[in-house]
Amino acid sequence: MPIGNFLRKIYICRTYIINLSDNSQVMVMGLEYLVKDALSLDYERKVESGIRIKVVGIGGGGCNSITRLSKQRINAELIAINTDKTHFSIVNAHKKVLLGEKVTNGHGTGGNPEIGEQVAQLAAREIYNILDGADLIFTLAGLGGGTGSGAGPVINEIAKETGALVVSMVTMPFKAEGKKRWSIAEASLEKFRENSNTLIVLDNNRLIELAPKLPILKAFAIMDYLIGDVIKNLAETVTLPSMMNIDFSDLQAIMRNGGTSTILYGEGNYYTPQDAVMDTLNNPLMDIDYRGASGALIHITGGKDMSLQTVYRIAEGITSGIREDAEVKIGARIDSSYTKKLKITTILTGVHTPYMPRRSAGIMESTNEIENLISIVS
């Protein structure tokens, strides 16, 4: 129903109340019309968002993630940046940027992050032009090698120069790959932190604990699925209309100067929202202390039967362990595909991870039942 007709009916009801003596009866009739018309409005209309999102895969690991993201229908431009020309043949992205072909002859950096840093600096203008115009930029990289560890922080710095909100998602190497690779990863991690608004760290070593017998390609598929799901959830939080809205300015307020940040998400049954809360706060991929969090942005997606009380109980459960003076923003969206199911995406600031000093960093906690993800890719 057009909003004009809706408002006219309310006006007619109010006029009718004024002109008649039996106000109580008319008031009931007016409320009945009001409720009927309100419930007939379409709250699921999809509105085109002006938020421009770009996801950048850097190096072999980052580009592999981009290829898997291309299958997850993420509303973003996918960009692959690498020094290995041969690897590009299996990468699926909207745009591909080959770095340092004259320096490496298209054969990669040989695991040398200094070369990765050099070729990224040489291509700074080209990278800036590709990234410019985005409001939100995700950068993805596997640490420990040459391109991801060396070129990644440079690309992040360029991304911040465009004025976009920059969220980095990086993976630490397997410890069995040796101390040298781990040392390179730690050094790069500090540089990523300096050039990101929010840094999210994942640990490949936890995959060994979660799926010890799973083939390596399927194990990495789990990690890429989780990365894609977090990006998709976060993008949908600010690009799709909601009953309780969280806009891009809310996201910026939480993440641009949020210091240490983490992104949590979980799913649960409509009838047991407490299980969804536990799923969200569970941390299967990384140890994290969220008790001192200073801010929380919570977005909940559910079916048409999701009640305001359910939204409140979930928000209360998630924020019960953080600081009493924390800034909290809550959003909720109705999605008809979520029959009796809930999805929660949460951004927390002011958290601590043992990988970094307390002053900055972030950990992505995939709390979306790992066993189910393993069955998806098996």
Average pLDDT, the chain: 78
In a domain, 182, yes or no: yes
Residues 348 and 263 in one domain: yes
Nearest residue to 66 via CA among 48, 50, 54: 54
Residues 31 and 61 in one domain: no
In a domain, 275, yes or no: yes
Residues 72 and 168 in one domain: yes
In a domain, 212, yes or no: no
Nearest residue to 91 via CA among 119, 69, 120, 113: 69
Tell me the residue range of the domain where 187 lies.
Answer: 53-196
Q: Could you report the per-residue pLDDT of 108-129, keeping only the tens digit for each?
A: 899 999 999 999 999 999 999 9
In a domain, 30, yes or no: yes
In a domain, 88, yes or no: yes
Percent residues over pLDDT 70 in the chain: 77
Residues 264 and 358 in one domain: yes
**Mean pLDDT on 140-145:** 94
Q: Using 50, 70 and 90 to split pLDDT, how confident is the model at 353?
A: low
pLDDT higher than threshold 80 for residue 157: yes
In a domain, 237, yes or no: no
Domains: count for the chain: 3
Q: What is the pLDDT of residue 142?
A: 93
